Amino acid sequence: QEYTMVKLQLKQLPESMKEKFAERNVYLVAATLRAETMFGQTNCWVLPKGEYWLYETVTKEIWVLSERAATNCSYQEFSKEMGKPVCLGTVTGKELLGLPLSAPLSPYETVYALPLMTIKMNKGTGIVTSVPSDAPDDYRALQDLKENAELREKYGITEEMVNFDPIPIIEIPELGNLAAVTVCKSMKIKSQHSVKKLAQAKELCYTKGFYEGKMIVKGMEDVLVKDAKDIIKDRLIKEGNAVNYCEPESEVIGRNG
Ligand code: ZZB
């Protein structure tokens, strides 16, 4: 599986890192298949119970991601020695919650790290960037936090951190310019734990978006989603905001379940 890893820089470090890493550039690194949607980022998801590595790259950046992803990265030119990732420490997802970030291409200058309970640590990097306009899981999880004060309190999230509207970035025939919102509403999906329905919603948004979607962001008007993907990916990489990342497929799914 080939992902784009998008780097969201921390504007403030977790307590446990403040002293030691004050001078360093630290990024939450999110794996995505949808580079063209980065214009619509409103937040970044972490798994509260997840453990993340502070992986030091060959260029001395610090990347926050799963141990498994760090190990994969060390085979892909990001480490000096093949297969030997440098780990400077670990943080839990919980420690990252509520931290401000800058998300490349997002019109929101600051977005926040928020909790998502359905993150799989054995897929991608264990960090997921959030595009509620086009990803049903993201829309629903953000709605859960907006609608549920108790949930916010539990994770130390304030209203200000979730007060972000989905951004229209892609127009899809019949689904409009906020496809994930349209589909979640029409399927009456009421929670991020509605796994089956969300999988259907995601499939619909993926397929219809890929073949029939057109970009509506400034400067890319009318470019088809399937053409925009590589253009935006290359731009993110050229600007130093993303890298290509491959992972062995068998590890994730396991051929026979
Ligand atoms: C931004 C984005 C925008 C995404 C969108 C999707 C959509 P797949 O097809 O199942 O491989 N993701 C990445 N890693 C994880 C993880 N560890 N746990 C849970 N979710 C994860 O799904 C790949 C997508 O799942 C990735 O692409 C990421 O969300 C999320 F508009 O990044 B995506 C219709 C989907 N739209």
Helix (H) or strand (E) holding 74: helix 67-74
Q: How high is the pLDDT of residue 249?
A: 75
* pLDDT tops 80 at residue 255: no
Q: How high is the pLDDT of residue 248?
A: 86
Residue 29 has which token pair? 């690194």
Residue 128 has which token pair? 């997921």
Tell me how far apart the alpha carbons of residues 135 and 244 are, in angstroms, rounded to a whole number: 21
Tell me how far apart the alpha carbons of residues 247 and 230 are, in angstroms, rounded to a whole number: 19
The percent of residues in the chain predicted with pLDDT above 90, rounded, is: 95
Q: Is the pTM of this model over 0.80?
A: yes
Residue of 29, 66, 68, 128 to test ligand 1 pocket, by largest number of atoms within 8 Å of CB: 128
Tell me how far apart the alpha carbons of residues 164 and 146 are, in angstroms, rounded to a whole number: 9
Q: How high is the pLDDT of residue 246?
A: 93
* pLDDT tops 80 at residue 257: no
Q: Cα(57) to centroid of ligand 1, in Å?
A: 24
Q: Angle at the Cα of 142 (from 15 to 201), degrees rounded to 5?
A: 135
* pLDDT tops 60 at residue 254: no
Q: Average pLDDT for residues 25-34, to the nearest whole number?
A: 98
Ligand 1 atom closest to Cα of residue 118: 19
* pLDDT tops 70 at residue 138: yes
Q: How high is the pLDDT of residue 251?
A: 53
Q: What is the pLDDT of residues 64-78, one digit of tens each?
A: 999 999 999 999 999
Q: How high is the pLDDT of residue 176?
A: 98
* pLDDT tops 60 at residue 208: yes
> Does the CB atom of residue 214 touch ligand 1 within 6 A?
no
Task: Quickly state the pLDDT bin for 250 (edges 50, 70, 90).
Answer: low
| Atom 6 (ligand 1) nearest CA | 135
Residue of 51, 121, 123 to test ligand 1 pocket, by largest number of atoms within 8 Å of CB: 123
Q: Average pLDDT for residues 31-40, to the nearest whole number?
A: 98
Distances (CA, A) of 60 to 25, 55, 101, 230, 239: 8, 9, 19, 27, 17
* pLDDT tops 90 at residue 31: yes
* pLDDT tops 70 at residue 223: yes
Tell me the average pLDDT of the chain: 96
Q: Average pLDDT for residues 110-135, to the nearest whole number?
A: 98
Q: Cα(18) to centroid of ligand 1, in Å?
A: 30
Eight-class DSSP state of 224:
B
Q: What is the pLDDT of residues 92-111, one digit of tens each?
A: 999 999 999 999 999 999 99
Q: Average pLDDT for residues 180-208, to the nearest whole number?
A: 97
**Is the reported ipTM for this assembly greater than 0.95?**
yes
